[in-house]
Each structure stands twice: as C-alpha cells, then as structure tokens.
Amino acid sequence: MANAVPQKACAACKHQRRRCDANCELAKYFPAEKADDFEDVYHLYGMPNTLKILKSIEEEERDKAIESLIMEAKMRLEYPVHGHFSVARKL
C-alpha cells in the first residue's frame, strides 16, 4: 500500500466545502494560498460565470484571463461604483 499524500483542497473547493479532485478546473488557478483572490472573483462573477469564462478561452490564454478577473474583482472592491474605469479616468 503506497502512502498517498492527500491533495490540499484548492480555494474554490474549500469555499464550496467539497473534495478537490484531479478534475478540478480551478485548482490550477486558485490554489489554497489564493483563497482571498478566489473570494473576490467569486463575489463579483460567481462560480458558473467564472467557469464559463474559462471554458470560452483557449488553454494558453487562461492564466492571463484569471489575472484579469482577479484584477477586476479587486478594483471593484476598492472602487465599488465604477471599478477599474475610475482608475483609468484618473489617469
């Protein structure tokens, strides 16, 4: 019997209180250390929309898309009315 190291749940699975398996689509983008980033994205977009956005993008572009979603969610928290547009307007 091999010693199986339990996989640490990603931030998305931890939020949903479910077991994180090898098929988890968000584990690569939201490891357990990025729980705050996932919470921000979750509150702005929700789980179904986040997954829909990821599935609509080519595999090699998904890292940049997740970075963009995280940035937009953080801007929306900091500037709830206009989001990133208020920062662009100030510039």
Neighbours of 65 (CB within 10 A): 16
DSSP states of 2-56 as a string? --PPPPPPPHHHHHHT----TT-SSTTTS-GGGHHHHHHHHHHH-HHHHHHHHHT
Average predicted confidence (pLDDT) for the chain: 87
CA angle centred on 76, ends 70 and 79, rounded to 5°: 140
With a cut of 90, say whether residue 42 has pLDDT above it: yes
pLDDT given for residue 50 in this prediction: 93
User: What's the Cα-to-Cα distance from 85 to each of 17, 40, 79, rounded to whole Å?
Assistant: 34, 18, 9
pLDDT band at 85 (very low <50, low <70, confident <90, very high): confident
Residue type, 21: D
Residue-wise pLDDT for 47-76, tens only, equals 999 999 999 999 999 999 999 999 999 999
